[in-house]
Structure 1
């Protein structure tokens, strides 16, 4: 008996999810149904694809060979389907978009409804990572990145840029005072990033240059966590304008040291691998998002 695409899709889902139950949830099937599909595939191939224990599962040598081929087959099927559908000039299919948590929450999520209304045939799959990811490994079509780009193997589209605001809550300033100069920051509680030290060099003009080396007393990996810490009066932070402008306008945060701002702006870019079958979905999403930024 020949194997079926759904069996391959189930096998790939189990490997990527790490367990039958997680794969079943992602496929919206029962765990027993996924198990039966995997068993049928192994029976048809006459080979064991996974070794299962109570704690984990591992690919056999045959499983590793099949996984590489199965991914290529499923990708080719998706591309073939998209190629036919593109003839109607209506973008359809799944589009996987990844961004840091703050950008996703403040710049993508508010516009999802309007995008779906404009392009009902595109199925959005949104993921969040506060560090750069491997697009192929994470099966991501587009990643929105903030700052300078390093990976030259990717195609990039500039979307916008963002100021960095130095901010604190009114509660913090009432308890600790308002810094009158950049040098005053030495006497304050600062909040910064834990994973990229370059993000803790704030764009402020001072005696040492145009980048102030902040020494955070609290560090976090996510800009949204830093925002929440600032809102809860835990210190002074440097936050992108798309994260902090609404809080400043509402009085939840106060902008500090504006005369010392260097004028630096963070680049906002979309990166992706060139794929002609995905190009219409990608261009629709990026053109839409760029109009909103």
Structure 2
């Protein structure tokens, strides 16, 4: 007896959400139906894919090997369905986009109304992950990433760039004074990231002519949290223009040590799994971003 696509989909969903109950809710089925599907799949394959206990699910070695093939099968079916639709029709289907909260709020969200008006048949899902996103595991179509790329199994298109600057609010500067020299920062509250530590490297040269690595007195994993902390007068921060350009223009944040600041421009890329032919729904979104984002960077 041959395995079915529904059985493969049930297995992958259970693994992705780490729960038969959650998978049943996501797929609109009962828990018992999903459980029976998994059992039937294992019987057909004549192997155990998942070790199930009352507290957790764990992939067997055979299950891990099958999972990789199962993901390829699902991706292939989705791409085939899309390529076989009427080429004259607008792009359609579900599009899952992931980005860190600042990129989602300041880059993506302002463009969503226009994108949906142009492509009404696209069903958008917008998710925010602060760390590195596994496109296959999270079933994500496009990840917006700022900074250098490392994974060669993925494809990317540059959609923009953004400078980083040292900033503080007028209320903070009125209370603590304005630093005029690099050494003055030692007496100020510095806001930084919990991880990666490379984000605490500011575009200022230290006494050894190396980029200044700060020791934050207050840390956060989110750039958006740091932005709000700076706006509320909690300290000095180093953030990218794509999220703070309007704050600078309005005077809510002021750039510090301008003459000492190096031009550090971070690339912003749309990252997606390497397909032979990029699906139309993915291409439509990336093209729209490139069309509507500033050509010369967010500092323009």
Structure 2-normalised TM-score? Answer: 0.85
The question of 1:218 aligning with 2:224 is answered: no
Segment drifting more, 213-222 vs 243-252? 243-252
Q: Show the counterpart of 1:271.
A: 271
Q: Which residue of 2 aligns with 1:92?
A: 92
Counterpart of 1:159?
A: 159
Cα distance change, pair 72–168 in 1 and its aligned pair in 2 (3 A):
same
* 1:247 and 2:250 aligned: no
Gaps of 5+ in 1: none
Corresponding position of 2:202: 202
CA displacement at 1:120 relative to structure 2: 2.1
Q: 1:241 to 1:64 in 2, by over 3 A?
A: closer
Q: SS at the partner of 2:239?
A: strand
In structure 2, the partner of 1:125 is 125
Contact 2:79–2:279 (CA under 8 A) maintained in structure 1: no
Query: What is aligned with 1:4?
Result: 4
Q: TM-score by structure 1 length?
A: 0.86
How far 1:39 moved relative to its partner? 4.5
Misfit runs of 4+, over 6 Å: none
Alpha-carbon deviation of 1:59? Answer: 3.2
Structure 2 unaligned blocks of 5 or more: 294-300
Q: Which residue of 1 aligns with 2:237?
A: 237
Alpha-carbon shift at residue 85 of structure 1 (Å): 1.4
Q: Deviations over 1:42-87 (max 9, x none)?
A: 5666665433211102235664454344333322221221120163
Deviations 1:192-241 (A, max 9, x none): 12222322221135654373322211222221121122223221000111
The yes-or-no answer on 1:105 pairing with 2:98 is no
RMSD: 2.7
In structure 2, C-alpha distance between the alignment counterparts of 1:150 and 1:76, rounded to whole Å: 25
**Quick one: distance in 2 between partners of 1:137 and 1:60?**
17
- Residues of 1 paired with 2:48 and 2:222: CA distance? 42
Distance 2:238 2:86 in 1: 44
**CA distance 1:257–1:66, shift in 2 (3 Å):** closer
Distance 1:160 1:70, change over 3 A: closer
**TM-fit CA distance, 1:41:** 4.2
Count of residues in correspondence between the two structures: 293
Partner of 1:192: 192
Name the counterpart of 2:145. 145
SS of structure 2 residue aligned to 1:203: strand
Alpha-carbon distance change, 52 to 285 in structure 1, aligned in 2, over 3 angstroms: same
Offset at 1:2?
4.8
Q: CA deviation at 1:176?
A: 1.3
Within a 5 Å distance, the mapping from 1:29-40 to structure 2 comes to: 29-40=29-40
